Amino acid sequence: MKARLNYAAVSPETFTAMRAIQDVVNTSGLEPSLKDLVVLRASQLNNCAFCIDMHTKDARAAGETEERLYMLQAWREVTNYSERERAALAWTEAVTLLHEGHVPDDVYDEVRTQFSEEELVKLTLVIATINMWNRFAISFRMEAGHYKPAHA
C-alpha cells in the first residue's frame, strides 16, 4: 500500500502537539511492559500495521517474551498475563472499541481493583493516545516493516 502523505511534515504543529501528549504517556509512571502490551493490543484491534510493527519490536527490545507477544490476541485464553495486565487489556479493548457498546461497568469494576484512580486516568491516556497514533498511521497509510527500536 502506498503512503498518502507525511503528516508530520505537512503539519509540524500537529505532530508537536501529538508528541507532547506522548511525552505525558512516557512519563506516566505506569510499568513500561504494561504500556507495551496495551499499545500493541489497541494497535491490533485497530489493524494498524505500522504500529503493530513498531510496538512489537519495541516490546521485544525491552525484554518482552515471544510467547506473550504471540498470545496477546488471545490473552483471555492463556494464563501468562498478570491480573493487572488482564484488567488493563480488558480496559484497552473496551476503550478502543467504544462503538461496541461503550465501556461496560464490569470492565470498569475489574480495572479499579488493579489500578488507583490516578493510574486509571493515566492508563486511559495511554489507550487514547495510541488510538490517536493508529488513526493517523492508518489514514495516511504509513508503511510498516521498516521501524527500528531506539533501544535495540
Cell numbers 503528516 correspond to what residue? 7
Longest distance between any two alpha carbons in the chain, whole Å: 45
pLDDT in tens, 27-72: 999 999 999 999 999 999 999 999 999 999 999 999 999 999 999 9
Prediction pTM value: 0.94
DSSP letters spanning 11-62? -HHHHHHHHHHHHHHHTS-S-HHHHHHHHHHHHHHTT-HHHHHHHHHHHHHT
Rounded Cα gap, residues 96 and 44, in angstroms: 10
What letter does residue 142 receive in the DSSP assignment?
A: P
Topology classification of domain 12-139: AhpD-like (1.20.1290)
Q: Cβ(51)–Cβ(137) under 8 Å?
A: yes
